[in-house]
Amino acid sequence: MIEEKLLHFRLGGQTEATELDFPAQRIICAGYSGRSQDAVQEHVRELVAHGMPAPDSTPIFFPVSNYLATTGSVVTVQDPCTSGEVEFVLLFHQGQTYVTCGSDHTHRELERYSIPGAKQMHPKILATDVWRFEDVRPNWDRIMLRSWATVKGKRELYQEASLAHILAPEPLIEEAERRYKVRTDGTIFMSGTIPTVGGHLVFADYFAFEMHDPASNRTLRHAYEVSLLQ
């Protein structure tokens, strides 16, 4: 039996922010989830050329342990071959769906040999504020995801794109439902990411990310330090 991990969020969009206690039961991570599957296949070919395994089909989904979910601000790693990636995140709780943003921190060298192993190796870092999905769904494709990577004190924009670049939540969840019961209480669903600005991975010392809704001018933000174990 899986032990729940209790996470604490703030629910925005109300007159005053209210607390949301979320008992995490499972995490499902999506990959190769771009809305243009032609672009996804081109990306797969690029990865294969660099020695990465090709998926049998896209999008793909990986369950990882619920204890990896965190709203913390530090991630400890064994070596510097890791990187974050900004994604939208859905939380299913008591018949409601909430949305936030997160980073699926991944070991990139291990990813060459085992994508599930690489996904399991590091935490999934979530912003501490959430919105009701139904409140932002009408404006979904205009919502922006951004991330910044800091290396040796130099901070640069790492990712920037609207949610129109990722499969919409409904068809993405329908794909995931073929293997996993995603719409169950306690599920954290991570969408898969957007391209990097420079087209290559950066192994950052500090990673910041956000989700901005231009309709309401609200932003969810979070950041964390990547610390080498001594």
State the pLDDT at residue 130. Answer: 97
Which residue, 143, 154, 110, 153, is CA-closest to 210? Answer: 143
State the pLDDT at residue 14. Answer: 53
Which residue, 104, 96, 99, is CA-closest to 124? Answer: 104
Question: Tens digit of pLDDT for each residue in 102-145?
Answer: 999 999 889 888 889 999 999 999 999 999 999 999 999 999 99
Interval 148-168 mean pLDDT: 97
Interval 62-80 mean pLDDT: 97
Residue 75 clears pLDDT 90, i.e. is over it: yes
Q: Which CATH class is domain 5-228?
A: alpha beta
Residue 174 CB coordination number (10 Å) = 12
State the pLDDT at residue 2. Answer: 81
Give the C-alpha separation, 12 to 56, whole Å: 39
Interval 34-59 mean pLDDT: 77
**Structural domain boundaries in the chain:** 5-228
Backbone angles phi, psi at 95, to 5 degrees: 80, 0
Interval 176-182 mean pLDDT: 93
pLDDT, the chain, mean: 92
